[in-house]
Structure 1
Amino acid sequence: MSTTGTAGPTGSALARRPAPVGRGGPLGSVRDSLVVARRNLIRMLRIPEVVVFGLVQPIMFVVLFSYVFGGSIAVGGSTDPGTYREYLMAGIFAQTVTFATAGAGAGIADDMHKGLIDRFRSLPMARGAVLTGRTLADLVQTALTLVVLAIVAVIVGWRIHEGLLRALAGFALLLLLGYAFSWIGALIGLSVRTPEAATSGGLIWLFPLTFISNAFVPADNMPTVLRTIAEWNPFSATVQAARELFGNLPAGYPVPSAWPMQHPVWASLLWSVLIIVVFRTLAVRKYRSATA
């Protein structure tokens, strides 16, 4: 006597099965993204040492650059340490939000490595919601880091001179740049096999980007080629915009003739939006192919 049964789908069959399609249009996509962001924020709260260790490096940079280099770097013809501290802080803020890119890439690579992305893909949700939710959660963490860093900056002597609203606009530009760069981190995280590789890949290009800029020293002292790169660097545009909005450009500081330095707020906005559009498109496309 023989029995006949209906076999369940094999693992390979499940892998080939098309993922459910999310419903609800743009509003559904926003809802799915917020759900994923909430999940990531809860996980961050359960691992507070990640947030704490993320604060250590920028605080160290503030203290070291303020007190070790503060009296030896001339800004606007002045070597006053207080002048340099105010000049420095916009660069430290910008470096902090962009270095969060490595963490974003490592987090996505870790989710890929553990199969969590595949589990999300089996749900009827918008295809880009996983990445959007992750980048939004990283943005919230970065904003909290900036708040703590601003408090430390005030302690070491940093001040704003253009009013609260303009200062908030400066922080908004910094967070927009950080959000834009988190999409670069997302693409890197989807393109490598391990979180360690994502961390290395997320930092290796950030160091030249941040140091070939006006973040720590005026670009007019650089060789011609490096000065041109620094003046058109999206990182430099945001730093310059933040300095203007904070009122941290010292008297006599020479503003370069390059368009991004003459119109840094517009340049910062344009660079950030362009980076988001390009790298979000590439990251979502990579996500679809990586989990297909």
Structure 2
Amino acid sequence: MSDALIMTGRSLRLSRRNLDALITSMALPVMLLLVFVYFFGGAIDTGTRYVTYVVPGVLLLCAGFGAANTAMAVTEDLKSGIIDRFRSLDIGGTPILTGHVLASAVRNLVATTLVLCLALAIGFRPVATLSGWLAATAVLLIYILALSWFSAAIGLFVKSSEAAGGFTFLVSFLPYPSSAFVRTDTMPGWLQGFAAHQPVTQVIETLRGLLLGQPVGTTPWVALAWCAGILAVSVGASGLLFRRRTA
């Protein structure tokens, strides 16, 4: 655990020094929130104020973009040779990867807080109780951790930063065929099945229900099951890939 915390501090310091990437990760979700609310919101009918509907989706988009950057960070470590230096200091793969994942979670929570503050300023009015806020935060954090570990596995699998950057695009695109920005029943029939049942939709509907005081049914459990599955597979794959890349 001490090694993991040291690696987390290292990753956060690297993020602070890479100001252009840090500013982009913070500014992009803010810009997307403003674009969707003020450019498209008046033309989209969701049965409620569009800012109320779209905020949970933007929070997931923000989390996905931030978590995906973990892939590029891991790839850069492998290319630079720093991994070999760490291993010579008897630091294993788990603390190194955990450091990247925890740093990703910290960055994402800061970006998510920024987006939420802006959303409140432009009209988002959640009615969640304290337990609702805590549950929504827990689900979002578990989603971030699962996606960050998956991103770390991708960073170990690919050979270049460019390929890792492609993963960033894929994860950033995934909220679009979901209930993030429009209701899934307005999509073409061939797309509705995927959009309604993919993991991003389950997490978004969980956050939306918890923050707006709506019935959530079994959706949180489905969302947590998706996150747990992604997390288990990603952690296992990361261990195998790390041993293969550093053998």
TM-score range, shorter chain: over 0.9
**Structure 2 match to 1:31:** 2
Determine the structure 2 residue equivalent to 1:5. none
Superimposed CA distance per residue, residues 197-231 of structure 1 (whole angstroms, 9 cap, x where no aligned partner): 21113323541x21111000001112233111112
The one of 11, 20, 30 aligned to 1:40 = 11
In the alignment, is the contact (CA less than 8 A) between 1:102 and 1:200 conserved in 2? no
Corresponding position: 1:175 with 2:130: no
Structure 1 residue 89 corresponds to structure 2 residue 44: no
The match for 2:183 among 211, 218, 223 is 218
- Give SS of 1:128's match: helix
2-structure distance, mates of 1:165, 1:46? 37
Q: Distance in 2 between matches of 1:117 and 1:280?
A: 18
1:273 aligned to which of 216, 219, 228: 228
Q: Is 1:62 aligned with 2:17?
A: no
User: Quick check: 1:186 aligned with 2:152?
Assistant: yes
Distance 1:248 1:73, change over 3 A: farther
Of residues 111, 135, 138, the one that matches 1:145 is 111
* Percent identity of paired positions between Structure 1 and Structure 2: 31
Q: What TM-score do the two structures reach when normalised by structure 2?
A: 0.93
CA distance, structure 2, for counterparts of residue 126 and residue 221 of structure 1: 49
Query: Which runs of structure 2 are paired with 1:249-268 in the superposition (5 Å)?
Result: 262-268=217-223
Give yes or no for the alignment of 1:243 onto 2:198: no
* Aligned mates of 1:127, 1:155 — CA distance in 2: 42
TM-score normalised by L of structure 1: 0.80
Structure 2: gaps (5+ residues): none
What CA distance in whole angstroms lies between the structure 1 residues aligned with 2:50 and 2:63? 21
Deviations 1:51-76 (A, max 9, x none): 22211110111101001111111113
Question: Pairwise CA RMSD of aligned residues?
Answer: 1.8
Q: Does the 8 A contact of 1:86 with 1:159 survive in 2?
A: yes
Q: When the two structures are aligned, how many residues end up with a matched partner?
A: 247
1:75 is matched with: 46
Is the contact made by 2:25 and 2:65 (CA closer than 8 Å) also made in structure 1?
no
Matching residue within 153, 159, 162 for 2:128: 162
Taking the aligned partners of 1:123 and 1:210, their CA distance within structure 2 comes to 41
For 2:120 and 2:20, locate their aligned partners in 1 and report how far apart those are by CA, in whole Å.
24
User: Aligned partners of 1:163, 1:111: CA distance in 2, in Å?
Assistant: 42
- Mind listing any 5+ residue stretches in structure 1 that lack a counterpart? 1-29, 250-254, 256-260
CA distance in 1, matches of 2:217, 2:197: 11
- Cα shift at 1:262: 4.5
- Note if 1:129 corresponds to 2:95: yes
Distance 1:170 1:38 in 2: 26
Separation in structure 1 between the aligned mates of residue 200 and residue 105 of structure 2, nearest angstrom? 17
Distance 2:50 2:231 in 1: 32
The residue matched to 1:75 in structure 2 has which SS? coil
Distance 1:53 1:206, change over 3 A: closer
Aligned counterparts of 2:112 and 2:200: Cα–Cα separation in 1: 16
Aligned equivalent of 1:234: 199
Give the whole-Å Cα distance in 1 for the aligned partners of 2:134 and 2:115: 14
Does the CA contact (< 8 Å) of 1:160 and 1:167 recur in 2?
no
Residue 111 in structure 1 maps to residue 77 in structure 2 = yes
Structure 1 stretch 44-53 or stretch 59-68: which is displaced more? Answer: 44-53
| Distance across 1 between alignment mates of 2:28 and 2:141 | 18
Quick check: which has more Rg, 1 or 2? 1
Q: Does the 8 Å CA contact 2:67/2:108 hold for their aligned counterparts?
A: no
CA deviations 1:152-205 (Å, max 9, x no partner) are 111111111122331232132122112111112111111222222211133235
Q: Displacement of 1:248 after TM fit? A: 6.8
Kept in 1: contact 2:67–2:105 (CA 8 A): no
